[in-house]
Chain A
């Protein structure tokens, strides 16, 4: 119940295309859903995040779509660029004992072809 399932494991997209990464969860206590971007040799960087009281959040070319009833959320990267090639992690956070615990998905390796 604490898992976050992420798919696909890897994704290849042409430059200018739309990259879509999906995550699903079971625990309805999760109340914060961030996406992280990680380049090789670097730490994960917070990209965009959403709370379950909204269905969509957009920041530039990055959009999170959130479906509370289906317990699913997804990251859409519009007009994908070669510089977007990285590993993307979704996460879900649950408040417990006065702190927030992150549960991460297993990651999606995105390659955008020039």
Chain B
């Protein structure tokens, strides 16, 4: 399957907790991007990894971090969670670091209570 996959689909947790979101890029894609989608902010770029290394940073909070592993899957770690972190988190992938087309996964819906 060449689609971008994300787990879990839904996550409910309490304020102050830490969660890890996982993304597997399309087969052959080396870049992974993380986005946050909330009702009032639209799609916001968080961070990009290319072949295991951080490539670009967007509006990512210091409480958030990410990494890309040798098998190219990526994890987004969110800590000290606040109510305002409730959102959809999308992962996208592309072939290279400087490739136009990005392909999105189905997202993880995070609810912080």
Contacts and interface: CB of A to CB of B under 8 A. Distances in A.
A101 B50 CA distance: 13
Contacts of B102: 34, 46, 102
B84 to A, nearest CB: 18
A106 B43 CA distance: 7
B99 interface: yes
Contacts of A35: none
Most buried by B among A46, A97, A99, A104: A99
Contacts of A101: 45, 56, 58
Nearest to B50: A99
A61 interface: no
Nearest to B33: A102
Given A99-B56, A103-B45, A106-B42, 6 more contacts: A43-B90, A44-B104, A46-B104, A97-B56, A100-B99, A102-B43
Contacts of A45: 104
Contact of A98 (B4, B55, B90): B55
Contacts, number: 60
Interface stretch (A17-25, A63-71, A73-81, A88-96): A88-96
Interface of B: 4, 31, 33, 42-45, 48, 50, 55-56, 58, 90, 92, 97-107
Contacts of B97: 98-99
Report whether over half of chain A's contact residues are helix, strand or loop; otherwise say mixed: strand
22 contacts: A32-B100, A42-B106, A43-B104, A43-B107, A44-B90, A46-B101, A46-B102, A46-B104, A49-B100, A96-B56, A97-B56, A98-B97, A99-B50, A100-B99, A101-B45, A102-B33, A102-B43, A104-B44, A105-B42, A106-B42, A107-B42, A107-B43
A34 B99 CA distance: 13
A84 B4 CA distance: 23
Interface string A27-64: 00000101010000111111001000000000000000
Most buried by A among B100, B102, B105: B100
B43 A43 contact: no
